[in-house]
Amino acid sequence: FNSAANTSDISARARALRDVAENSILNSQEFNRAFVLMQYFGYLRRNPNDNPDSDYTGYDFWLTKLNQFNGDFQKAEMVKAFITSAEYRSRFGQP
């Protein structure tokens, strides 16, 4: 807690939380995971382990593919795949 005397120091707790939130190493390690998750929430309006993928298979596929393209979602063709998927089209119509 940045040299706070105890954990009840609210400003120290806020600084500690901000340090974690702004940590560039943590950000780079978690960015792709969060990005893939947001594609599921945004395009399919569901959690990645909801039906029809009850075991994270699709999430793991897209995370692996995004990592293979060093986070370049355009080269990984993620958006294209999500909006042309049968699941997306059945819910929202043709893109």
pLDDT tens digits for 34-91?
999 999 999 999 999 999 888 999 999 999 999 999 999 999 999 999 999 999 999 8
Per-residue tokens: 34: 């969060």
Confidence of residue 28 (pLDDT cuts 50, 70, 90): confident
Q: What are phi and psi of 50, to 5 degrees?
A: -80, 160
Q: Report yes or no on whether pTM surpasses 0.85.
A: no
Torsion over CA: 84, 89, 91, 93 (sign): positive
pLDDT of residue 10: 87
